[in-house]
Amino acid sequence: MPPPEDEDDSALFRAAIGAVTPLRKVDAPAPARPRPRPRARMAEQDEAQALGEFARLLRTDTPLEAGDVASHRRDTLPARLFQRLKRGQYSVQDELDLHGASVLQAERLLRDFLLDARAHEHGCVRIIHGKGLQSDGGAPVLKNLVDRLLRQRNDVLAFHSAPPAQGGTGAVLVLLARR
């Protein structure tokens, strides 16, 4: 027999279920909303500081563009050795690829790489920074970071953009001083 039309839905539900026994009351508080995932605030601050320092460096000097050649030679290095470096005539003993790294990661990787290269007494290394065609703001970030950092290091005698067969303006060959 169909239920009468005038009964409300809650009464129909109680009639269908039958007798129920209530659960005993628990004094525990209701579960709280899940806590938000922790943020690495210090890492974010370090990244922002590194970007700020890098932006300051870019403002003080003219930044390199994607197709520009990165080049530097210490006065103590003979010109003929620098010419050999420019032509890619040194054997590259190790290589670092910075593609996809943030500024902070790239700086740390580059510093560690150069320390390791010096410890292994490598004379010439290649650093691949990319051409920076996808960089926000136009200036290739990693290329300029590598250029500025290599100029500051005492163990770097010279560096120059690699010949086209070795990466062109997306990489640099670095001549390191011996220990």
Three-class SS state of 94: strand
pLDDT at position 4, please? 57
pLDDT at position 20, please? 83
Mean per-residue pLDDT of the chain: 84
Contact 172, 146 (CB under 8 A): yes
* 70-176, CATH topology level: Ribosomal Protein S8; Chain: A, domain 1 (3.30.1370)
Q: Provide CB contacts within 8 A for 59, sequence distance 6+.
A: none
Q: Where are the beta strands (DSSP E) in the chain?
A: 71-73, 94-97, 124-128, 156-161, 171-176
Q: What is the mean pLDDT of residues 44-50?
A: 71
Buried b (16+ CB within 10 A) or exposed e, 26-56: eeeeeeeeeeeeeeeeeeeeeeeebeeebee
pLDDT class of 5 with cuts at 50, 70, 90: low
Here the tokens at position 168 are 């062109």
Percentage, residues of the chain above pLDDT 70:
84
pTM listed for this prediction: 0.66
Strand partners, 124: 175
